[in-house]
Each structure stands twice: as C-alpha cells, then as structure tokens.
Structure 1
Amino acid sequence: MSTFPFNSATQSSAEARQYLADELVSKGVIKTAAIRKAFEAIPRERFVPFFYERDEAPKRREWTRYDAANTQDYMQIVYSDEALVTQVNERGWPSSSSSMPTVMALMLEALDIKPGQRVLEIGAGTGYNVAIMTMLTGDPRLVTSIEIDKGLAQQAQQALLGTVGLVNVVVGDGYRGYPEHAPYDRIIATASVPLIPPAWTQQLGPGGRLVTDLHGSLASGFLIMEKAQDGNISGHFQERPLHFMPLITEQLPQTSFDTVKNLLLEPRRELFPLANNSPFPDIFENHSYRWFLQWFLPDTHISRQIMGDVTYIYLYNPKHCTILRFQQLNGKWAGDVHGSYPLWQKIQDAYATWEVLKRPAPQHYRLEINAHNQTVLYVGTLSLLVNAPQKRA
C-alpha cells in the first residue's frame, strides 16, 4: 500500500487527490493532461465512504468495515493505489469494489474519451469511475452507467449527484447494454466477460471504441476494440491483464461448485505418471499458456486443493463431462482422467501447438467481430475461437 509523505489525518482531500494523481503519473499510467485533471478534481472519499478488509487468519472469511469515523488512516487508504472492497455477499466473497486507480487510469487512457462523446459504462459500482468520465466528456448527461444491483446504483447516483451532477445511472443487466441512449462513442466494462455481448457491438457507433476485461475460463486479457464504418470490429490486447469480478447476468451459464466432485464420479479411463522433465502441471501457472489453452479448448477450468500432505490440481471440462486430476505425493506427480473425453491428450496438443507458435502472449492475439456478430480470435494465422452469429437483442 502507498504511504503518504505526510499525516493523512490532517491533510485536505485536494492534497490527497494531488498526491494520487502525481503517483499515477510517476508510474506512467496517466499520460494525458485531461485524465490527470479529472483525478485531481474528483474526491474518491465521496464514493468510498467505507470499505472492507478481510481477516488474514487462515481459512477465515471475516470482513471488517472501516470508515472515516473509526479509521485513523482512512484518507491514506482511500487515496492509495489499491482496489477497495465496498460490498461483500452472503457467501463471504467480495461482490463490488472501487477499482485500483492504476487500472482505472490504464483503461481510461485506452478508451481515449473526447469532450462531447457519448459513453456507456457497464458496472457503475461506487460511481467513482463514472465521475472521472464526466470530467472527460465535459457533460455528465453524456455518460450512462448500468448497474444490476439496485442498492449500488442508488448509492452511486446519490454520490454522483452531489459531486458532478445528474448522471444516467440505470438498473439493469449490463449484458444487454442500454439501447435507449445508443449509439455510443465509447463503451467501457468494469466487469469481466468471456465473450463480447452482441448488444455492446450493436450499440457502439461507427468509429467507436470498446475497452473491457475479456476473461475466459483460465485467464484474463485487456481488450481494446474499434468499430469501422462498415460495422466490423477489430481489437487487440494489452500486455498487462485486467482482473475484474465477472459480470453478473442471467445471460451466461454458471459453473456449479459441485462440478469437480461430480466429475470425479465418472469412470477412470486413464492413469499415467509424469516424467521429471514434464512441463506439467507447473505450466498451468504460466499466464500465456493458460490464455492459449482456454481458447484452444473452451470451457476448461482449473482448481487446486491441498489435503494433508497431498496436493491436487484439477483440470476439468464440464462440456465434455471429463476431469484431469494431477496429484503430488512425496514430490512426485501423477495424473488420471475421469470421463470419456481424451482431455489429457488435448491438453498436450495445446501445449505442443503453443510451443510451435513460439509461446505467444495475449498481446500477440487479435479479435475480430463482423457485422453479423461472428467472432474470431487469431494468433498469427491460427483461428482459435469462433462463435456462430447470434440473434440480435
């Protein structure tokens, strides 16, 4: 966490904002004067009147709420370059947060908002990012933010009204966008999606730009897309990945937490030892390989479990009802496959192809979506992901 060069309890919000803006400039994530000015103008504490921190004790999910009344370093924490959890669900997991300012700045620089442009944000959250964008458009009425949580939307609307004026914060499913104010010059999503929703591409105007976290089943990518006059959309990925909470929507399937347990009940079809020089399972820690694998073999997931002295790594594919289990005991790894799909062979094929392609990282891929919403992901001349045209929303 950043440390202020002064006693944050006695300093003004303006000084704290100046400090944060200077820090983001020094890190190289703020490059334009307009974005720096926006960070200097918007008080983050108006949008984060409280936050939660989790107990660091092992296996505990207890969260403590902090605010200005009970936290001496409240302003220091609010203006640190950190994501702050602002909502926790009934299962004890974070369900909303104020994004890390570095990530905000990177996305806003990529979005390149110009005065007078119409902007759609997917996921209002606290409203802090919305407020920054109103400074860039020059008119809060040009910004629309959609939030599925009614309580969060109301809190964001209230904070925005008292800070920048009337902004269009609407309650709804971000997957569907908000056609009432389309077309948009810019669309930004502060929640991750496994595929670009058709509504977003339809509501993006010609010459428009879209910035989002494209997150498959295994890894995340920082995607920037632009729409041509003919309706085709093309995009590329930044080197640095994004890490946002998944978009909450009924339009996308959810993976059950019982999937691993159920797939292990499938008949075991293969048992194999792993050689000492095998890249598996360590290669699963490599972000570039995980990024490739999730598109080469869609709907593949991974999880890790430690039981006593045994470490398990599960690679499973619900679509094909098959799970690959690696287990380590006394420093030796072995694996088995439950289910009829040749998952182990497919995983090895993915690794071999990735090697032939010279281990491409996400920034070496490009994504194309045509006017019929057919999506293709390319790395070199290899197409990895194709989704059939979908009905327009």
Structure 2
Amino acid sequence: MTDPSARVQGMLDEIIAIAPRSDWICDALRSVPRHPFIPTRALSVEGYDERETLIDRNTDPTTWWASVYADSTIITQVDDGAGAIELGARKPTSSASAPSTVADLLKWLSPRSGDRVLEVGTGTGWTAALLSYLVGDQGEVTSVEVDPVVAEQAAKNLAAAGVQPRLIVGDGAAGCPDRAPFDGVHVTCGIYRVPYAWVEQTRPGGTIVLPYDCGMGDGHGLRLRVVPGTGAVGRFTGFASYMLMRAQRDADGDSDERYTGETVTRLDPRMIGRASPGARLAMAGLTGLRTRTLVQEGVFWLWVLDPEDPAQYAVVHGRPGDTEYPVYLYGDRPVWEEITDAYFRWVGWGEPGRERFGMTVTPEGQRIWLDSPTQHPQPIHR
C-alpha cells in the first residue's frame, strides 16, 4: 500500500470519536503520516485491556497497517534493547505513543509557528516530526534521546521523511542549555520528579507539558507555565501514561530481612490499588508513596512502596467477598497507615477529581495542590 490517506482519515475519525480535535492537530496528523516511523516488526497494544498483537509488515502487512493506523501504542523496544520483540515481553522500554495521547500533548503544548521547542524523548521520531511541522520553517525543534540505538533509528526515520530537527543523544533531564531558551518543552516519557532544568531553560510564560507518573496506576497529563520569581505552575489536564524516564525508574529492593510484622485491615486493597485519578494524586501528594498491583489466580495483590527506600513497604492481598485482609509490613515506616489515611482525607474533601489538582515546581522541589497553588495538601505522618 503506497497511499495511506484513507487509513490516516480512519485514525483521525477514531481519535475524534474519543474527544474533539482541533483542525490544526488534524492537519498535522494528516501531513505527517505515522507509518514511516514504525519498524517492520513491533508489538501493538490496544484497548483498556491492553491487548498485545505482534505485527510484522513482511509476513502480515494487513495487520501491520491496521495497527499502525489504529489508536494503538506500538512497542518498538523491550528490555532497553536486550530483549526480542515477542508477545509477552515483560519490559517495554520504547514505543510510538497512541495517536490520541500524542494529540492531547500537542494540544496542551499548543506550539505556534516560529516557536523553539525542546522535546525530551525522541523515540521513533514521529512527534519530533509533528512538532517540526507545527513550528514551521522559522521555528526550531531540539529533541533529546537517552538511548543511542533508538536515537540512531529516529534520525534515519526523520531523514527519510525529509525532517531535520536538532537531534541530541543524552539525558533529557538536563534539557539542552546550549539551545535554550525554549518557548515550550514537550516530554514523551513518564516523569515522577520534574527536573528544574526544564523550568530554567523555558522563557517566562512558556509551557511545559509532560506525562506525570505518581507511581499509582495510569499517568496524568500535566501542563505547566513558567512564572518569573515562582518557578512553574499548572494543572493536571487528563490521561497521559508513558514509560518512566530511565533515570527515574524505581530501584529494586529485597526487604525480607526488614519484615516487622502482620496486621489486618477491613479496607479492600482494591480501593487503594484501583483508586480514581483524583484519589491517586491526593495519595501521592500527601505521602510520596507508590503502589503496584497484581491479580493472580483470583487474588488481588497490592504493594505500597517508599520510592526513596525500597526496604520500606507493605503487602496486602485478598479475594472478592473477603471481609478482612492481611497486611504484611516491612521496615519501620507505617506506609499502610499513611496511604489509607491519605485516601480517607481525599474522601473527606468530597472526592475531588483530577481536574481540581495541580502542581508547583520550584528550585526546592515540587508539590501537588488542590484547587489553588496556595492550598496544597500537607503531608501526614512524615
């Protein structure tokens, strides 16, 4: 197939059905096709149940084309390049994001013709090409990729597409001071701590958009504005879930030697592990903890973890219909008590949704707030 225009329109119809898209976003997606940036062999992930399909343009071009122009995430690398692209790969480490999510981040950034934009995470190069189209010939896009193999392939993809952003191999957390200041920063990896370098390298009034990963379930889009004398301030804008920046991945820990006892709770661990976006932001802002979940043979498992100290955590499990749940405690930080207190504080606030939360980033760090930057949640037990 040499003319993908019908497939592009089908993709646009699909993502417009999810949410209306501005004409300028649709025009960019039409003008910068996705398929030149997708490898011959990859994994397509679609739907709320994250169905995986192995796609191979050589052996099954029909499925490959259908997946490329669906609202799917295309996994292009696993295990930091050490693993093979196969079904059941456990650690995806690079991908082409779903078009609906790409469109959302572009909308939140709203790049204008002539803008200077820093992209953190080149990936396949597709979003760098979209940004280059949007800022035009008078604008500039600088894209930073930490993985040299991924960066090399992105450079080939972009050259073949006739697009020439400035490509840099390096740690995106440091930004690119030699190319600053920027009008906008567009981040394509999950972020737990917002690097202040991005704020310093963005003009006053400039915009930073990123997928914020609070370590509890799906991620959150965050749109920040740089405010002189303050730092950056903004609100959570919607869903945006990306792979974590490599420098911010959780450390692994073995804490059996720190086992401190067992207790029982009547709170179903699914209330914490499957909490709504607003509840997750509240719990993250109040405690700084993270969670992980697993369903195995009908049993729901929940881990509550201290990202700063892997030896501090709790494990809770149970089945539907149980009325009491064992809590296994490791370390001396009362992480289960903290997370449940934070959850019920959110309930006491009236269960506010994601759109009522925001973040302020300063040289001293970041804080999540509810409704107003002057009314941020205060930590409990810390």
TM normalised by structure 1 equals: 0.82
Q: Which residue of 2 aligns with 1:6?
A: none
Q: Which residue of 2 aligns with 1:127?
A: 125
Partner SS state of residue 192, structure 1: coil
Q: Which residue of 2 aligns with 1:340?
A: 332
Distance 2:356 2:215 in 1: 19
Distance 1:312 1:27 in 2: 32
Which of 334, 341, 365 is the equivalent residue of 1:349?
A: 341
Q: Which residue of 2 aligns with 1:360?
A: 352
Q: Which residue of 1 aligns with 2:145?
A: 147
1:326 CA displacement: 2.0
Partner SS state of residue 139, structure 1: coil
1:68 CA displacement: 4.7
Distance 1:172 1:72 in 2: 37
Distance 1:142 1:72 in 2: 36
Q: Which residue of 1 aligns with 2:155?
A: 157
Alignment of 1:310-389 (within 5 A): 311-317=300-306, 319=308, 321-328=311-318, 331-332=321-322, 333-336=324-327, 337-370=329-362, 372-380=363-371, 382-384=375-377
Distance 1:361 1:167 in 2: 38
Contact 2:196–2:361, Cα closer than 8 Å, also in 1 = no
| CA separation of 1:311 and 1:75: change in aligned 2, threshold 3 A | closer
Q: Deviations over 1:106-158 (max 9, x none)?
A: 11111111000001110011111111111111128601110011121121112
Which of 242, 245, 248 is the equivalent residue of 1:247?
A: 245
Which residue identity lines up with residue 365 of structure 1 in the other structure? Answer: F
Which of 74, 77, 85 is the equivalent residue of 1:87?
A: 77
Which residue identity lines up with residue 344 of structure 1 in the other structure? Answer: W
Partner SS state of residue 189, structure 2: strand
Distance 2:99 2:180 in 1: 28
TM normalised by structure 2 equals: 0.84
| CA separation of 1:273 and 1:23: change in aligned 2, threshold 3 A | closer
Distance 2:320 2:222 in 1: 42
- Which moved further from structure 2: 308-317 or 137-146? 308-317
Greater Cα radius of gyration, structure 1 or 2: 1
Q: Deviations over 1:22-63 (max 9, x none)?
A: 4434443421x22221111112111113242389xxxxxx98
Matched, 1:263 2:255: yes
| CA separation of 1:68 and 1:186: change in aligned 2, threshold 3 A | farther
Distance 2:231 2:300 in 1: 47
Contact 1:322–1:339, Cα closer than 8 Å, also in 2 = yes
Which of 32, 49, 67 is the equivalent residue of 1:42?
A: 32
Q: Deviations over 1:243-295 (max 9, x none)?
A: 1001122xx46320xx3xx3344243342252xxx454434211332332122
Contact 2:75–2:94, Cα closer than 8 Å, also in 1 = yes
Q: Which residue of 2 aligns with 1:234?
A: 233
- Which moved further from structure 2: 290-299 or 338-347? 338-347
| CA separation of 1:285 and 1:40: change in aligned 2, threshold 3 A | same
Partner SS state of residue 164, structure 1: coil
Distance 1:280 1:192 in 2: 25
1:383 CA displacement: 2.4
1:236 CA displacement: 0.4
Number of equivalent positions: 359
Distance 2:337 2:63 in 1: 54
Distance 2:53 2:335 in 1: 39
Which of 170, 173, 178 is the equivalent residue of 2:168?
A: 170
Contact 1:121–1:145, Cα closer than 8 Å, also in 2 = yes
Q: Deviations over 1:1-40 (max 9, x none)?
A: xxxxxxxx5x712332233334434443421x22221111
| CA separation of 1:71 and 1:271: change in aligned 2, threshold 3 A | same
Which residue identity lines up with residue 242 of structure 2 in the other structure? Answer: F
Q: Which residue of 1 aligns with 2:48?
A: none
Alignment of 1:179-198 (within 5 A): 179-198=177-196
Contact 1:119–1:185, Cα closer than 8 Å, also in 2 = yes
Alignment of 1:22-41 (within 5 A): 22-31=13-22, 33-41=23-31
Which residue identity lines up with residue 324 of structure 1 in the other structure? Answer: A
Distance 1:279 1:16 in 2: 45
1:214 CA displacement: 1.0
Q: Which residue of 2 aligns with 1:98?
A: 96
Which residue identity lines up with residue 368 of structure 1 in the other structure? Answer: T
Which residue identity lines up with residue 282 of structure 1 in the other structure? Answer: M
Stretches of structure 1 that go unaligned for 5 or more consecutive residues are: 1-8, 56-61, 387-393
Contact 2:303–2:315, Cα closer than 8 Å, also in 1 = yes
Stretches of structure 2 that go unaligned for 5 or more consecutive residues are: 46-51, 84-88
Contact 2:291–2:302, Cα closer than 8 Å, also in 1 = no
